[in-house]
Structure 1
Amino acid sequence: MGKRTAGTCYFKVAGKQLEITGGVEAPLSDKERETIKPGYYSEKDKTPYVKVDALFTPDFPIDDIVNGTDMTITVDFANGKTYVLSGAYIVGDASTTGDDGKTSLTFEGRKGSWQ
């Protein structure tokens, strides 16, 4: 029997669900390691983030996304896992395109956790 690992995801920003195209990315770890010499490594904290491709619908919450500095982002993945990013804010260039009606968004925050 097969198990679903990909497919429909649900994405909420500050309690408002966005229509997305399936492109969602969240880190699996909050640490970044680099090998110094085989068997030895350095470790530093990684900034928690979420990247998403959303549809620019008529009810798209522009003000909430652009002005929010302490948002909660919730991503429900098709495999049953949920990633929650707290203290979130938008980073980079938040823009949309008229030809495909999409907007690529990157959020960073204080804490990311898998549930």
Structure 2
Amino acid sequence: MGKIAGTTYFKIDGQQLSVTGGIEVPMNTKVRDDVIGLDGSVDYKETSRAPYTKVTAKVPKNFPVDKITSSDVMTITSELANGQVYVLSNAWLHGEANHNPEEG
């Protein structure tokens, strides 16, 4: 068995953040759903799924938070413990950005 878990590196436009609660990246960008006919035949439809990176990280005091909240051309690089590298280009923040000061 090879290494599948451990240290992960996460960078926004080259500036590294320390991941605390894990990282999530999609394994597929297409989703297949069943389409069942009245005659019992089964086919599928395929829809696109937006690429994303989901992370919980510590944000240092000097990190430019406005880069995360306002930029729409970020490059996000996730170097996973199993050796895979996931790069998200022209990225923007989807939804809310929350900060828990007790946890960093």
What TM-score results when the alignment is normalised by the length of structure 1? 0.80
Give the whole-Å Cα distance in 1 for the aligned partners of 2:42 and 2:77: 36
In the other structure, the counterpart of 2:85 is 82
1:8 aligns with 2:7: yes
Unaligned runs of 5+ in 1: 102-115
**Which amino acid is the alignment partner of residue 21 of structure 1?**
T
**Which amino acid is the alignment partner of residue 57 of structure 2?**
A
Give the whole-Å Cα distance in 2 for the aligned partners of 1:71 and 1:93: 16
**Which amino acid is the alignment partner of residue 49 of structure 1?**
Y
Runs of 4 or more consecutive aligned structure 1 residues displaced over 3 Å after TM superposition: none
Structure ID, larger Rg: 2
Aligned length: 100
What TM-score results when the alignment is normalised by the length of structure 2? 0.88
Q: Would you tell me which structure has more strand in proportion to its own residues?
A: 1
Change (3 A) 1:22 1:4: farther
* Counterpart secondary structure, 1:49: coil
Give the whole-Å Cα distance in 2 for the aligned partners of 1:87 and 1:46: 16
Unaligned runs of 5+ in 2: none
